[in-house]
Amino acid sequence: MYVGAKDGKLYSFDAFTGKEKWTAINIPGAEVASSPTIANGVVWVGSWNRHFYAIDAYNGNILWYTVTGDAIESSPTVLNGVVYFGSRDHNLYAFKLPNS
């Protein structure tokens, strides 16, 4: 289970035990406001710091990120090898996933 929080972190919890597995991102003052989406072992999530992240679902390492013109609160969607998300900058972003 993956949860973004107001403390600027993304948390991973074991769905069976409820124990925390790892935390990622750590952006003080920049809420992780979008709902995380998981596809192919990657957690996709946006933040108020204008960054959109791809995070390894198993260990919390940041694999990739991009910066938009404003905060990202929308939940990402993955479809046919492309991740889509919106930003407060009034743009819809789409990135082709590697090996898709």
The one-digit pLDDT tens for each residue of the chain (100 residues) are: 999 999 999 999 999 999 999 999 888 778 998 899 999 999 999 999 999 999 999 999 999 999 999 999 999 999 999 999 999 999 999 999 877 5
Q: pTM here?
A: 0.91
Q: Tell me what pLDDT residue 72 has.
A: 95
Per DSSP (E only), the strands in the chain are 2-4, 10-13, 20-24, 37-39, 42-46, 51-56, 62-67, 77-79, 82-86, 92-96
Task: Domain 2-96: give its CATH architecture.
Answer: Beta Barrel (2.40)
Q: Tell me what pLDDT residue 98 has.
A: 75
Cα angle 9, 84, 51 (rounded to 5 degrees) comes to: 35
Q: Tell me what pLDDT residue 27 has.
A: 83
Q: Tell me what pLDDT residue 100 has.
A: 56
Two tokens at 99?
A: 């090996």
Which residue pairs from 88-92 have beta carbons closer than 8 angstroms and sit at least 24 positions apart in sequence? none
Half-sphere exposure of 46 (CA within 13 A, CB side): 23
